Amino acid sequence: MNQDIDFILGNWAYKPGVAQARMIQTRDGRQVIQLRIDLGVLQLEATGRPDGARPHGHATYMDYLQEQARLSRKAGQTFVLNDEQSQDADREFLQFYHRRMCWLALRQYAKAIRDSDHTLAFMDFVKRHAPSEEYLHAHEQYRGFVLFQRTQAAAALEVENDAPQRAINEIHAGLERMRGFYASYGREDEMEDDGMVRHLRHMEASLRQQHQIDATLEEQLQQAIANEDYERAAQLRDEMKKRP
């Protein structure tokens, strides 16, 4: 078997600062993702864990750790990640980061949301079972970035579905989650200076301008309730139910 991959690298030049990904079909018919990096190419599975492994027979390492935590609770013990588990958790975080970047580059937004949700759920698990404050902070500092990417994907998916108002709602929901992240560090006042937040604000402004949306149905409903105009609120609720 020819193991030389020079022809792949030669025909796929690396571009710094750009996520370069593509889907290919393997000889056995699987769809896999290839990601071009400066030192070569990473190949990731499109389903399950990105490396194709089943840690201790589980779909993901997070699933395995959740089982261990349940067993500890059943035994009346407190579950805390040990050094080996912490390292293996980091490995899975990195794998899902790479695949999330690929999905965004490939405009596979529903899959980007799925992988973002896995990472956020894993972060929540680590928050409950971290071995130290240092380990916890090493992961929590990236929560805002994952929330940002999930919001990007969710809004883009709604745009693809020709639902710009729902895209704006997704941006608002994402910004609220990011606000909660900033508030947890007592830095809510700094949020609007964040480049990720500015990018989402720009996305919202572009959608409003492109689709001539002054206020979404949800925003109109909130205003009607604030004005105690309940007849108008009922009309808006009916419109929202009819919306595809």
159 and 96 co-located in one domain: no
Structure tokens at 202: 């720009």
Helix (H) or strand (E) holding 196: helix 195-211
Among the candidates 88, 119, 141, a domain finishes at 141
Q: Is 209 a domain residue?
A: yes
Q: Domain total for the chain?
A: 3
Question: What distance in Å separates the CA atoms of residue 56 and residue 186, rounded to the nearest whole number?
Answer: 39
pTM: 0.88
Say yes or no: 35 and 149 in one domain. Answer: no
- Domain hosting 161: range is 145-213
For residues 152 and 116, membership in a common domain is answered with no
In a domain, 149, yes or no: yes
Do 26 and 85 have their domain in common? Answer: yes
In a domain, 65, yes or no: no
The answer to whether residue 63 is domain-embedded is no
Q: What is the pLDDT along the chain (244 residues), one digit of tens a residue?
A: 677 888 888 889 999 988 999 999 998 999 999 999 998 999 999 999 999 999 999 999 999 999 999 999 999 999 999 999 999 999 999 999 999 999 999 999 999 999 999 999 999 999 999 999 999 999 999 999 999 999 999 999 999 999 999 999 999 999 999 999 999 989 999 999 999 999 999 999 999 999 988 888 788 777 778 878 777 878 878 777 777 6
Contact 151, 170 (CB under 8 A): yes
pLDDT the model gives residue 224: 79
For residue 1, the model assigns a pLDDT of: 64
Domain check: are 230 and 127 in the same one?
no
Domain match, 151 and 128 both: no
Q: Are residues 150 and 92 in the same domain?
A: no
Q: Does any domain span residue 92?
A: yes
| 129 and 170 within one domain | no
Three-state SS at 37 = strand
Domain boundary, last residue among 118, 141, 164 = 141
Query: Under DSSP, is residue 116 helix (H, G, I), strand (E, B) or coil?
Result: helix
Same domain, 119 and 52: yes
Residues 112 and 189 in one domain: no
The answer to the question of residue 68 being in a domain is no
Is 162 among the domain residues? yes
- Spatial CA neighbour of 170 closest among 154, 192, 191: 154
Tokens representing 164? 């710009």
Residue 106 falls inside a structural domain: yes
One domain, residues 205 and 127: no
pLDDT for res 235: 80
pLDDT at 244: 64
How far is 215 from 165, CA to CA, in rounded Å? 9
**Domain shared by 130 and 170, yes or no:** no
CA dist 46 and 218 (Å) reads 35
Q: What is the DSSP string of the chain?
A: -----HHHHHTS---TT--EEEEEE-TTS-EEEEEEETTEEEEEESSSSTT---GGGSSSHHHHHHHHHHHHHHTT------HHHHHHHHHHHHHHHHHHHHHHHTT-HHHHHHHHHHHHHHHHHHHHH-SSHHHHHHHHTTHHHHHHHHHHHHHHHHHHTT-HHHHHHHHHHHHHHHHHHHHHTT-GGGGGGSHHHHHHHHHHHHHHHHHT-SS-HHHHHHHHHHTT-HHHHHHHHHHHHH--
- Of 119, 141, 163, the domain-final residue: 141
